[in-house]
Amino acid sequence: MKKIAFVIASMLMITQLQANNSASSEMSHVVGGSVLAGGITAVVNSYYPEYKENRGMIGFEISSAAIIVEQSIEFALHGNAKGQILDAISHIAGSAFGAFVTDKYILAPVINTSPLEGKSVGLTLQHSF
């Protein structure tokens, strides 16, 4: 019963929310971009091994493209170009952060091959306290 009451209260609160350009609103876009890009990067790592070298860039690009399309639709429906651009920039900044951290620090390192620099590999160190 408590779960049902919580869901109903949450739905009522969501209908009362208004979009704005406050710091907390933009931070939600940054966090959303980080999570989406990190998730896409992890999916590319798991299901498309032939693209492992570029998994971070793929996560960043797909997440950024998705927000540009979404904010373009929002602009076409509701206007407010300044707000839509600010939301997109915040999301893209979060996407860059999320894809980079996921690629370099969360997922296992991958051997990179470059015709100019040769082969390189990342190193992960872990220590329990």
| Domain boundaries, given as residue ranges, for the chain | 23-107
51 to 33, 42, 45: CA distances (angstroms)? 21, 11, 7
pLDDT given for residue 92 in this prediction? 96
The answer to which of 10-14, 35-39, 87-91, 123-127 has the lowest mean pLDDT is 10-14
Q: Please give the Cα distance from 38 to 82 (Å, whole number).
A: 27
Rounded to two decimals, the pTM is 0.70
Question: Is residue 87's pLDDT more than 70?
Answer: yes
**pLDDT bracket for residue 128 (50, 70, 90):** confident
**pLDDT bracket for residue 15 (50, 70, 90):** very low
